[in-house]
């Protein structure tokens, strides 16, 4: 584990915000499939900064350089490895961090864990930038899933308490998800999206930040994927999704609100529909006993407000062993939720694909 994920596929993510490069190794991908690099770049763009007015002005090209794993553009069975060079690196911005940890960041805990030897620049290995290699893996795996008619997509369900219309848990379609892929701001409801953007702009104007919720769906999954207890779909997806910095909660199907319902309300009746067993409602989020039911798999992820804010904050000085005031320099995303959308899709894709390989071995 650590920066490694998977049982059938093995994903190993490396890099620091300001190291020479960041990257990923993916072992266990099946040979013979084409990797559409253009499609991958388009996917990466959804995570890239600078694509909307609120994202950090740091210029990250996020150009993916493949080191191994392909032969004539096809996966060749050897581990796939790719890197992104870190070019626009200004370490000076982070000189203070080692001494005065930023509230809400991993600066303090990394200092304790690594005894001061951590690379604090830009958050080091804890930087949101580490989600770029996650997206390389996710983007490729989404291409593999597409060949099995499995599609994963997410939208911004909420920012600063402003709600988008949710996915219909029963009828959500590939067209719905495809439409979101094309949005620069992935909301189902444009007016809700506009209100969210305004909330982000308002936060920015006062040197503050906002958080939100992402709802993610996987459709086309066969019933029967996932394993008992610790290897259920919820476990697998949660394990992957919490690797995204700023994620502080996850719920499947009706989740926390379902915990307020009666059994007679929350249970989903089974019914035959075109000789397939479906459920009439989908409070179970497509997972029963950790195993997919064939209904859309649905989960929601809570993302905390960006901890980097322009306002003065109370913190401590390690060297002087006293409380002090910190004012973070540089520009930062006032809301990372929009850019986290493909990251959540990636984490889900990785978890689902790994489970799918387990499913296949008993076919």
Site for its own copies in 284-303 (CB under 8 A): 284-285, 287-294, 302-303
CB of 331 to its own copies, least distance (A): 14
Q: In degrees rounded to 5, what are phi and psi of residue 137?
A: -65, -45
Applying CB under 8 A, the site for its own copies has a residue count of 150
Residue from 36, 146, 189, 258 touching its own copies (CB under 8 A): that is 258
Residue pair 11/350 in contact (Cβ under 8 Å)? The answer is yes
CB of 135 to its own copies, least distance (A): 14
Nearer of residues 38 and 323 to its own copies, judged by Cβ: 323
Residue pair 341/155 in contact (Cβ under 8 Å)? The answer is yes
Nearer of residues 31 and 42 to its own copies, judged by Cβ: 31
> Which of 280, 278, 306 minimizes the C-alpha distance to 294?
278
Tokens, residue 141: 């795996």
Stretch that binds its own copies, among 138-146, 175-183, 184-192, 218-226 (CB under 8 A): 218-226
Stretch that binds its own copies, among 42-50, 139-147, 183-191, 355-363 (CB under 8 A): 355-363
Own/partner contacts of 56-59, CB < 8 Å, gap of 24 or more, are: 56/331, 56/332, 56/333, 57/331, 58/88, 58/331, 59/87, 59/88
DSSP line for 7-29: SSSEEEEE--TTSSEEEEEEE-P
Nearer of residues 48 and 199 to its own copies, judged by Cβ: 199
342 near its own copies, rule: CB under 8 A: no
Nearer of residues 173 and 313 to its own copies, judged by Cβ: 313
227 near its own copies, rule: CB under 8 A: yes
CB of 9 to its own copies, least distance (A): 9
CA 126-66-91 angle, to 5 degrees, is: 35
189 near its own copies, rule: CB under 8 A: no
C-alpha distances out from residue 298 to 92, 221, 234, Å: 42, 12, 10
Whole-angstrom Cα distance, residue 172 to residue 253? 13
Would you give the binding string for its own copies spanning residues 113-132, x where CB under 8 A is met?
A: xxxxxxx-x--xxx---x--
DSSP 129: G
169 near its own copies, rule: CB under 8 A: no
357 near its own copies, rule: CB under 8 A: yes
Stretch that binds its own copies, among 143-151, 176-184, 187-195, 263-271 (CB under 8 A): 263-271
Residue 363's SS3 state is coil
Q: How many residues does the chain have?
A: 363
User: What residue has token string 């889900």?
Assistant: 348
* Phi-psi group of 361: left, alpha or beta (phi > 0 → left; psi -120 to 50 → alpha; rest → beta): alpha
259 near its own copies, rule: CB under 8 A: yes
266 near its own copies, rule: CB under 8 A: yes
Nearer of residues 178 and 329 to its own copies, judged by Cβ: 329
Considering only residues 45-84, where is the footprint of its own copies by CB under 8 A? 65-71, 74-81, 83
Considering only residues 16-35, where is the footprint of its own copies by CB under 8 A? 16, 19-23, 25, 27-28, 30-32
């Amino acid at each position: 584990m650590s920066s490694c994920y998977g049982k059938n596929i093995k994903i190993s993510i490396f890099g620091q915000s300001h190291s020479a490069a960041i990257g990923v190794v993916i072992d266990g991908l099946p040979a013979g499939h084409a990797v559409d690099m253009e499609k991958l770049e388009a996917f990466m763009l959804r995570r890239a900064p600078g694509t909307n007015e609120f994202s950090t002005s740091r210029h990250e090209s996020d150009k993916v350089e493949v080191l191994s794993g392909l032969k004539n553009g096809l996966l060749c069975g050897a581990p796939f490895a790719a890197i992104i060079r870190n070019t626009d690196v200004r370490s000076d911005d982070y000189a203070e961090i080692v001494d005065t940890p930023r509230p809400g960041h991993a600066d303090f805990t990394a200092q304790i864990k690594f005894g001061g030897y951590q690379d604090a620049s830009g958050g080091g290995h804890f930087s949101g930038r580490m989600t770029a290699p996650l997206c390389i893996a996710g983007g490729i795996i989404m291409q593999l899933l597409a060949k099995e008619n499995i599609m994963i997509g997410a939208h911004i369900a909420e920012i600063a308490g402003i709600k988008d219309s949710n996915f219909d848990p029963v009828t959500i379609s590939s067209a719905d998800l495809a439409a979101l892929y094309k949005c620069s701001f992935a909301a189902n409801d444009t007016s809700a999206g506009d209100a969210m953007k305004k909330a982000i702009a308002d936060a920015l104007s006062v040197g503050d930040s906002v958080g939100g919720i992402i709802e993610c769906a996987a459709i086309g999954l066969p019933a029967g994927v996932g394993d008992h207890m610790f290897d259920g779909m919820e476990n697998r997806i949660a394990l992957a999704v919490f690797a995204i910095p700023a994620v502080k909660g996850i719920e499947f199907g009706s989740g926390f609100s379902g915990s307020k319902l009666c059994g007679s309300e929350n249970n989903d009746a089974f019914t035959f529909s075109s000789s397939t067993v479906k459920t009439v409602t989908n409070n179970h989020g497509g997972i029963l006993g950790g195993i997919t039911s064939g209904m859309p798999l649905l989960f929601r992820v809570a993302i905390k407000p960006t901890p980097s804010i322009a306002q003065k904050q109370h913190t401590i000085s390690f060297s002087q062993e006293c409380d002090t005031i910190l004012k973070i320099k540089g520009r930062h995303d006032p809301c990372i939720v929009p850019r986290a959308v493909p990251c959540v899709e990636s984490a889900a894709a990785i978890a689902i694909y790994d489970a799918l390989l387990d499913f296949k071995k008993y076919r």
